[in-house]
Structure 1
Amino acid sequence: MDAFRVSERGNARWAYRPGMERATLPRGLVGRSLIAAVLFAVAVVPGWTLGGLIESWTGQGLLDWLVTGAWSGLAVRVLAPYASYRPRDGWLGVVPLYGWYLTCVLCWRVALLPFRDWEPRADEMARARWLTGDLLGYWRADAGPVRVATRPKAGPRTR
């Protein structure tokens, strides 16, 4: 147990009780937008910078586009598994302009994690759950092994 959960903060509302966990809420629009913008800058600006440097060294604009597209494809490849895209969709990130759009979508999705406002893929449904109550409209698909129910090895069979 940590000190935060054991100590009281002046009233019983903050006291730790067994089974009591901190409720997490999805980020608001401003927080999500800021995180998505920072993620996009981290994912794309180094490619733009590297492409610009290569163009200034070689004088070939096409090489700039190739390096920028390759960097964008790498960013899509890294972000894809967190946002319900397949890692092989990184090849779509190489396409000029579409790669930046796809990076924007992935950054917007990753900025909301661990909650999701999109439906998980079919292979993620085994570990995803639809939230209710105040979180209606969100999914939660926590990382971890997918547990598949199996028949017991021993015991009587009933019909």
Structure 2
Amino acid sequence: MERWVHRSAPRGLVARSSIAAVLFVVAVLPGWTLGDLAEHRTGQPVLDWLITCGWSGLAVAVCAPWCSYRRRDGWLGAVPLYGWYLLSVLSWRLALLPYRDWEPRRDELWRARWLTGDLLGYWRSDPPAARAVTAARRPAAARRTR
């Protein structure tokens, strides 16, 4: 059975920018809103920062594996302001998937392909096959060579 291959063109600049902006807002706004509500109820601005930064760290940890970052980079996402920068980079990268315009990490190279032709300059990194490769069995009717 032949595997289905996605043959569309990468998104243009306007579409990619729009998608990245929406992804950034979806990743940041809930934490920001929860932080403001917590500060309003308790009167402690530190709680606002903790919730907002924690939410950003969680969003980075969820998005990171799709964008050649490690899940543990979520700790960096919890750093004030740097987390939002990291989320903007991840949103920009997520908006282009399944194509990539960044070089994969060394541990991702085994499943990445450098595209040629009209897609020169892009990488494609499909998820691993759903079914694992198993050991082949020798056919019962095979003739011995010796």
Compute the TM-score of the two structures, normalised by the length of structure 1. Answer: 0.78
Residue 144 of structure 1 aligns to a residue in which SS? coil
Provide the alpha-carbon RMSD of the alignment: 2.3
Structure 1, unmatched stretches of 5+, are 1-20, 155-159
Structure 2, unmatched stretches of 5+, are 139-146
Question: Counterparts in 2 of 1:47-66, with a 5 A limit?
Answer: 47-66=31-50
Task: Go from structure 1 to structure 2 and tell me whether the alpha carbon gap of 1:34 and 1:92 turns closer, same or farther (over 3 Å shift).
Answer: same
Amino acid at match of 1:90: G
Kindly state the Cα deviation for residue 144 of structure 1 after the two structures are TM-superposed.
1.2
Amino acid at match of 1:132: T
Deviations 1:61-108 (A, max 9, x none): 111000000000000001000000000000000000000000000000
Q: Which residue of structure 2 aligns with residue 123 of structure 1?
A: 107
In the alignment, the residues of structure 1 paired with residue 51 and residue 81 of structure 2 have an alpha-carbon distance, to the nearest angstrom, of 13
Q: Does 1:85 align with 2:69?
A: yes
Compute the TM-score of the two structures, normalised by the length of structure 2. Answer: 0.85
Amino acid at match of 2:56: S
Q: List structure 1 runs of 4+ shifted beyond 6 angstroms.
A: none
Kindly state the Cα deviation for residue 138 of structure 1 after the two structures are TM-superposed.
0.2
Moved more, 92-101 or 136-145: 136-145
Task: Go from structure 1 to structure 2 and tell me whether the alpha carbon gap of 1:61 and 1:77 turns closer, same or farther (over 3 Å shift).
Answer: same
In the alignment, the residues of structure 1 paired with residue 66 and residue 39 of structure 2 have an alpha-carbon distance, to the nearest angstrom, of 33
Q: Which residue of structure 1 aligns with residue 143 of structure 2?
A: none
Question: Counterparts in 2 of 1:1-159, with a 5 A limit?
Answer: 23-145=7-129
Residue 7 of structure 2 aligns to a residue in which SS? coil
In the alignment, the residues of structure 2 paired with residue 121 and residue 132 of structure 1 have an alpha-carbon distance, to the nearest angstrom, of 20
Q: Percent identity?
A: 68
In the alignment, the residues of structure 1 paired with residue 57 and residue 7 of structure 2 have an alpha-carbon distance, to the nearest angstrom, of 36
Which gives a bigger RCO, structure 1 or 2 (Cα 8 Å, sep 6+)? Answer: 2
In the alignment, the residues of structure 1 paired with residue 86 and residue 6 of structure 2 have an alpha-carbon distance, to the nearest angstrom, of 34
In the alignment, the residues of structure 2 paired with residue 110 and residue 122 of structure 1 have an alpha-carbon distance, to the nearest angstrom, of 19
Task: Go from structure 1 to structure 2 and tell me whether the alpha carbon gap of 1:67 and 1:139 turns closer, same or farther (over 3 Å shift).
Answer: same
Number of residue equivalences: 135
Kindly state the Cα deviation for residue 23 of structure 1 after the two structures are TM-superposed.
2.8
